Amino acid sequence: MKRLMILNGPNLNMLGIREPHIYGTTTLAQIRERCEQQAKQLNLQLSFHQSNHEGELVDLIQSARTSADAIIINPAGYSFTSVAIFDALKIFEGPIVELHISNIHARDKLHRHSILSAAATGVICGLGPYGYVAAMMAVAQMT
Ligand code: DHK
């Protein structure tokens, strides 16, 4: 069974109440439940995490080297700032899908250019919470 790690960065624990005009009203718990259903359908072993801390995300990415075959990451605000997460992703040998709920390309200048995309196999953005399902389907094909 292929092993998938899904990582969620800072403030995604606030989905549902956080700027709903941008991120919608679906909570992270609901997204997690949907991902768990999808993992069963795709025969993937899923580990799902959220952290507000850059170092914790780096630790998880490093641990994925031995515990996961693929990573899906919504780096949230760290997309635009974190060389440490970029470097950690570069060490991972399997496929990486970078995911954003909103279409970052249509957003303000601050949220438009992810420095992490150069370390990703593919990028999904603007599909809302469905992006997680789409990313999982892609990963199931890739790994
Ligand atoms: C989530 C965030 O927290 C923002 O910092 C990103 C991303 C976009 C999202 O759309 O899921 O800019």
Is 130 tagged catalytic? Answer: no
Most informative mutation of 85, 102, 107 for ligand 1 (most atoms within 8 A of CB): 102
Amino acid letter, residue 116: L
**Structural domain count of the chain:** 1
Does residue 104 line the site of ligand 1, with CB under 6 A? yes
- pTM comes to 0.97
CATH number of the structural domain spanning residue 136: 3.40.50.9100
Q: Which atom of ligand 1 is nearest to the CA of 111?
A: 12
Q: In ligand 1, which atom is closest to the CA atom of 107?
A: 12
C-beta separation of 78 from 7 below 8 A: no
pLDDT of residue 101: 98
Crossing angle of helices 54-67 and 83-91, in 10° steps, is: 0
Q: How far is CA 84 from the centre of its chain?
A: 16
Q: Which of 21, 49, 53, 100 is catalytic?
A: 100
pLDDT tens across the length of the chain (143 residues) = 999 999 999 999 999 999 999 999 999 999 999 999 999 999 999 999 999 999 999 999 999 999 999 999 999 999 999 999 999 999 999 999 999 999 999 999 999 999 999 999 999 999 999 999 999 999 999 95
Q: Distance (Å, rounded) from C-alpha 68 to C-alpha 17?
A: 31
Q: Are 10 and 77 in contact (CB under 8 A)?
A: yes
pLDDT at 143: 59
- How buried is residue 128: exposed, middle or buried, by Cβ count under 10 Å (0-12/13-18/19+)? middle
- Ligand 1 lined by 76 (C-beta under 6 Å): yes
Atom of ligand 1 at shortest distance to CA of 114?
Answer: 12
Name the residue range of residue 47's domain: 2-142
Rounded distance, CA 141 to CA 23, Å?
27
